[in-house]
A = this chain, B = another copy of it.
Amino acid sequence: MSMKNVPDIVVGRLPLYLRALSFLGEEGRQVTSSQELGQKLGISPAQIRKDLSHFGEFGKQGTGYDIKYLSEQLRRILKVTEEREVALVGAGDLGRALIHYEGFAGKGFRIALVFDSNPQKIGQTIGPFEVLDSESIETIVADRGIEMAIVAVPASAAQDVVDALVRAGVRAILNYAPITVKVPAGVQVQYIDPVIHLQKMTYYL
């Protein structure tokens, strides 16, 4: 199904295209062009057309791209047409923020389980969730067939949590802990660390 050999960096831009298209759609727009998208995203029009050409032909010469159609195609390519269940580990401040975050809806994800290892938090109710014991990650996540997880625990706990998730069959992890974790081949990890982003910028100040 997925095209032969699309560079990672190209795949990484598709979600940005999809997000920009969503905004245009919400503004009631019907069509757009590689030029307009590029303008909004700070990416050259040529690059956008080249990126899309890895997956097919989605535009019309002289007209541009139908926003709804291209959005559908990108959702299909990215496999976010359905909402996937995501396990969240860590019910601290960040975990709570993620539970209450409304930005997942309609973008392909839904938090389905929440774990924490703190006995004071286990059993507690946060939003629509009862916090489960992290000890049960392996059994519950595996039973439910969940493939994605978000790790929002302290750095010291992150590797153990990731190991448990991997044993449970999770194949994609978004890690908020400020540590590079080890995972077997075939398991993907993405990192979010505000310090890293801030430090990148101070160099240029």
Contacts and interface: CB of A to CB of B under 8 A. Distances in A.
Interface of A: 2, 11-12, 14-16, 18-20, 23, 40-42, 77-80, 84, 86, 92-94, 96-98, 100-101, 103-104, 107-109, 147-148, 150, 171-172, 174, 178-180, 188, 190, 192-205
Given A15-B195, A104-B195, A171 B97 contact: no
Copy tally for this chain in the complex stands at 2
A32 B95 CA distance: 35
A179 B24 CA distance: 12
Contact of A178 (B19, B78, B147): B19
Contact of A200 (B11, B41, B84, B197): B11
A188 B205 CA distance: 9
Which one of A40, A96, A193, A201 has the highest number of Cβ atoms from chain B below 10 Å of its Cβ?
Answer: A201
Given A19-B196, A109-B195, A192-B194, 19 more contacts: A14-B203, A15-B200, A19-B195, A40-B180, A79-B203, A79-B205, A93-B97, A97-B97, A98-B194, A103-B193, A103-B194, A104-B195, A148-B205, A171-B205, A172-B204, A172-B205, A174-B194, A188-B204, A192-B197
B179 A23 contact: yes
A1 to B, nearest CB: 11
Nearest to A172: B201
A205 B150 CA distance: 15
Given A11-B203, A19-B178, A203-B11, A172 B198 contact: yes
